[in-house]
Amino acid sequence: MSDVYSILQSGYVTAGSNIAGLANSKTPYVPVDAPSYEGTWTGAYANNTKFTIQISNVEGFRAKVRYQSGSTVKYQDVLIKDNSFKFGDSKFTLTKAGTAQLKTVMTDAATGAQTLETAYAQQS
């Protein structure tokens, strides 16, 4: 029985240290300019697969995101830091007013192979 507890304890120590690393980030969360993020963003990956990102309810550094590409639809609450936020397998980075870079890990359903796709989106 003590082996089970030691395994659990080691898991908690590992998780705790990972969380502590996040808390020690040198860049604080700060309020962002809501109009710079809110609205509909559209773009396409290199394979011409189109995507749409809708960002709403930007308050301080929090926002709601809806992503759609083909039949894939994802909703997520996000935290904006250093002009970027992560959702699902993607990272959105505001590069300049009205333009953002989107990096997405794509997984091939047949082979399981993963690739990193980079695309740009325009705010409308």
pLDDT in tens, 41-81: 999 999 899 999 999 999 999 999 999 999 999 999 999 99
pLDDT at 109: 87
| Mean of pLDDT over the chain | 85
* Tokens 């290199």 found at: 46
pLDDT of 24 reads 55
What pLDDT shows up at residue 115?
93
Half-sphere exposure of 7 (CA within 13 A, CB side): 4
Interval 93-104: pLDDT, tens: 999 999 999 999
pTM of the entire predicted model: 0.77
Written as one letter, the residue type at 6 is: S
Q: Indicate the residue type of 10.
A: S
Residue 108's pLDDT band, with cuts at 50, 70 and 90, is confident
50-59: strand order across its sheet: 72-79, 62-69, 50-59, 39-44, 114-123, 99-107, 90-96, 84-87
Domain 34-123: give its CATH code: 2.40.128.20
